Amino acid sequence: MPFCDAQLKGLLRLVFEDASIRTLRPLDKGLSNKNYYLEVGQQSYLLKRYSNALPTMALDAQRQLAKIGVAQSPVVYDAHTRLALFEFVTQSDEAISLSEALLTRLHTLHQFVLPEIGLLSLNAVLTEAGQVLAQSAYAAQLCSQLAQFEADICFCHNDLVRDNILATAQGPVFIDFEYAQYNDRYFDLAALCASFSLTVHQGNAMLNQYYTLADIAMPAYAQDKLKCYVQVYLLLSIGWYQQRGLEQYISPLLVQQIAWRD
**CATH number for position 45:** 3.30.200.20
Domain boundary among 44, 60, 87: 87
| SS3 call for 241 | helix
Count of structural domains, the chain: 2
Helix (H) or strand (E) holding 7: helix 5-13
Q: Give pLDDT < 50 ranges for the chain.
A: 1-3
Query: In this structure, is residue 94 part of a structural domain?
Result: no
Task: State how far the alpha carbon of 38 is from the alpha carbons of 19, 123, 148, 195, 235, in Å.
Answer: 12, 40, 48, 28, 36
Do 190 and 79 share a domain, yes or no? no
Helix (H) or strand (E) holding 223: helix 222-243
Query: In this structure, is residue 92 part of a structural domain?
Result: no
Do 125 and 237 share a domain, yes or no? yes
Q: What is the pLDDT of residue 5?
A: 62
Look at residues 10, 162, 180 and name the one whose alpha carbon lies nearest to residue 78: 10
Residue 19, domain extent: 5-87
Domain boundary among 33, 56, 87: 87
Q: What is the pLDDT of residue 175?
A: 95
Look at the alpha carbons of 228, 231, 235, 240 in this order and tell me if their dihedral is positive or negative: positive
Do 153 and 252 share a domain, yes or no? yes
Task: State how far the alpha carbon of 186 is from the alpha carbons of 35, 67, 80, in Å.
Answer: 29, 25, 34
DSSP states along 165-218: EEEETTEEEE---TT-EEEEHHHHHHHHHHHTT--HHHHHHHHHHHHHHHT-PP
Say how far apart CA 259 and CA 231 lie, in whole Å.
Answer: 10
Q: What is the pLDDT of residues 185-243, one digit of tens each?
A: 999 999 999 999 999 999 999 999 999 999 999 999 999 999 999 999 999 999 999 99
**119: phi then psi, degrees, rounded to nearest 5:** -110, 130
Helix (H) or strand (E) holding 33: none
**Full-model pTM:** 0.93
Give the E-state strand segments of the chain in sequence order. Answer: 21-26, 34-40, 43-49, 74-78, 83-87, 153-156, 165-168, 171-174, 181-184
Do 107 and 82 share a domain, yes or no? no
Q: What is the pLDDT of residue 18?
A: 64
Q: What is the pLDDT of residue 1?
A: 42
Query: In this structure, is residue 74 part of a structural domain?
Result: yes
- Neighbouring C-beta atoms of residue 18, cutoff 10 Å: 8
Do 113 and 61 share a domain, yes or no? no
Q: How far is CA 94 from the centre of its chain?
A: 20
Is 214 within 8 Å of 188 (Cβ atoms)?
no
Do 55 and 133 share a domain, yes or no? no
| SS3 call for 82 | coil
Q: What is the pLDDT of residue 258?
A: 94
